[in-house]
Amino acid sequence: MNKRSKFLGIIFLFAFCYNGTAQTGINRISKEQKLYELSVVWKELSYNFANMDNCPNVDLDSLYREYIIIVQNTKNDWEYYKAIRHFLCHFNNGHVACYWMPDYFLDYLGTLLLTTTYKDNKVIVENIGAHNANKIGIGDEIISVNGIPVIDYLQKNSIPYIAASNEESKTLHRATFGGRGLTNTALKDEKIKLKIKTSNGIKKVVLAYDKYYKPTSKDTIVQKNRKYLDTTVYIHSVSMRNNLFLEDTINDFAYIRLTRCDESFSSFFDENYDKILKHRNLIVDVHYNEGGSSNVTDIAIARLINNDSIYTYTEKTRVNNALHKAWAAVKILLYEDDDVPEFHKINYYPYYYNTAFDKVSNEIVAYPSNVPDSLYYKGNVYVLISEDNASAGEYFAAMLSQNKDITFLGKKTAGAFGQPLLVRLPSGIEVIINTTKTFDFRGNDISSGFPPDYEYDFLEIHKITDPQKMLSKLIEVIKELK
């Protein structure tokens, strides 16, 4: 595994933690470069971002002017990086975000070994670094962070930093420690003050970001002991969950969990397909699949769609036509609205207001499945999706929806459809900007997420550690919903 793939999951899982602590030693980017890089991002958003309708309260130019001051006043490169991420999160899109940080950042960063869950308006500790087990324990409740009530802290310092198209993704559950919005990443050994409620009463503790991403040779021995107290894999860390196949012969169900769209997606599906064909019912769990490459899903899509032809859903992209924009500008700026022909408004105004779109392809694209009839799955298919299901993972779900006999259960997906434009800034920060609007097979805009047929929160079921008990509970819920 290369360095980029190793740390990419970390970057998407962790965002920001502002505690006002001044740091030094990571200060290579000048004020002038910060302004230039922000301007590059603003320019690319202006010309290529396709989803401004999903952030109606954002005025791009006004936001840009506001962040001119913010980025130039950042104290160091890490604060600048966080400011850029914060800027991008205003656009409510899972494909508008910082994709990669400068490699040298990793020499200065540490993580806080702490994961929590949000339940009943409380933030409860799920796991803690073993070296801090004497300070805080699993099941303790966090009351405040750096003197701020924990819910207020999350709403101010975590939720605004979640890059997501689907508003359901911007929840307190996903904003807790170890989640998407509030970071477990900061500069090495930075401290955080917690007030916690334990079985023995209230106490205050201080934790440090002391698990280094790139420990020096002097740090190696100490860093090896920086491990979580409980080695159970928690759902917070999607990249750590494994593919899983289960069978329930009594209820005639097969279950397959596909955690990421990489090489293992197709190979794992294929190696278990003979067993899948023996069952009348199949649960395909992409609840936590954050994507990868859509190409690896083709085999599974073809077999589950059960059709000789496979169609692609419709995508539209922004169209920039300088001449049409110029014609519109003359009418808009120099004439009264009543004096402008309706034809001109319809055909040219969209180019001025950046609302002109065109299909990526003018024809419906279909291709043969090349699957023998004997290999089509002809049973009942139940696909589990959620707000964590993104990019190529939700592409897989949306493609399956052309089979009207497939049932989708869970929560609306993240809304990270489309091809993002990758922008590499001189500092090494890489930014992605979404370039398409996406429509399902009924013509509905699903850019902000693909909705299920039946809504259900599978969170607690997925926490069941016994796989067969988890499957039994899933089957029970599916029968009730159907």
**What would the two tokens of residue 4 be?**
């980029």
Beta strands 253-257 and 420-424: pairing type?
unpaired
**What is the overall mean pLDDT for the chain?**
88
Q: Which pLDDT does position 156 carry in this prediction?
A: 87
Q: Poorest-confidence range of 19-28, 74-83, 242-251?
A: 19-28
Q: What is the mean pLDDT of residues 318-331?
A: 92
Give the domain ranges of the chain. Answer: 3-107, 109-159+167-213, 242-287+291-315+363-413+452-481, 322-355
Q: Which pLDDT does position 362 carry in this prediction?
A: 57
Question: Is the pLDDT score of 422 beyond 50?
Answer: yes
Identify the band that residue 368 occupies on the pLDDT scale cut at 50, 70 and 90. Answer: confident
CA distances from 219 to 103, 173, 210, 345 (A): 19, 34, 10, 65
Q: Which pLDDT does position 133 carry in this prediction?
A: 93
Q: Which pLDDT does position 4 carry in this prediction?
A: 46
Percent of the chain scored above 90 by pLDDT?
62
* Helix orientation angle between 77-89 and 31-48, rounded to the nearest 10 degrees: 20
Domain 242-287+291-315+363-413+452-481 carries which CATH code?
3.90.226.10
| Topology at the third CATH level for domain 109-159+167-213 | Pdz3 Domain (2.30.42)
Tell if the pTM clears 0.95, that is, is over it: no
Q: Which pLDDT does position 369 carry in this prediction?
A: 79
Q: How far apart are CA 450 and CA 436, in angstroms?
A: 15
| Entry field: residues in the chain | 482
Strand stretches in 272-385, DSSP E: 281-285, 309-311, 314-318, 357-359, 366-368, 380-385
Q: What is the mean pLDDT of residues 439-453?
A: 92
Percent of the chain scored above 70 by pLDDT?
90
Question: Is the pLDDT score of 233 beyond 80?
Answer: no
- More confident: 71 or 313: 71
Q: Which pLDDT does position 138 carry in this prediction?
A: 92
DSSP for 254-279?
A: EEEE---BSHHHHHHHHHTHHHHTT-
Are the C-beta atoms of residues 285 and 258 closer than 8 Å to each other? yes
Question: Is the pLDDT score of 37 beyond 90?
Answer: yes
Q: Poorest-confidence range of 88-92, 239-243, 446-450?
A: 239-243
pLDDT digits (tens, 9 = 90+) for 121-131: 999 998 999 99
DSSP for 183-243?
A: -SEEETT-EEEEEEEETTEEEEEEEE--EESS--TTTHHHHHT--BS--SPPTT-GGGPPP
Q: How far apart are CA 137 and CA 125, in angstroms?
A: 7
pLDDT digits (tens, 9 = 90+) for 146-199: 999 999 998 888 888 888 887 777 777 777 888 766 567 889 999 999 999 999
- With 0-12 / 13-18 / 19 or more C-beta atoms within 10 angstroms meaning exposed / middle / buried, residue 353 is exposed
Q: Which pLDDT does position 22 carry in this prediction?
A: 37
Question: Is the pLDDT score of 425 beyond 90?
Answer: yes
Q: Which pLDDT does position 131 carry in this prediction?
A: 93
**What would the two tokens of residue 65 be?**
């002017």
Identify the band that residue 424 occupies on the pLDDT scale cut at 50, 70 and 90. Answer: very high
Q: Which pLDDT does position 183 carry in this prediction?
A: 66
Question: Is the pLDDT score of 469 beyond 60?
Answer: yes
Q: Which pLDDT does position 7 carry in this prediction?
A: 40
Provide the 3-class DSSP secondary structure of residue 129: strand
Identify the band that residue 16 occupies on the pLDDT scale cut at 50, 70 and 90. Answer: very low
Q: Which pLDDT does position 182 carry in this prediction?
A: 56
Question: Is the pLDDT score of 234 beyond 80?
Answer: no
- More confident: 15 or 260: 260
Question: Is the pLDDT score of 304 beyond 70?
Answer: yes
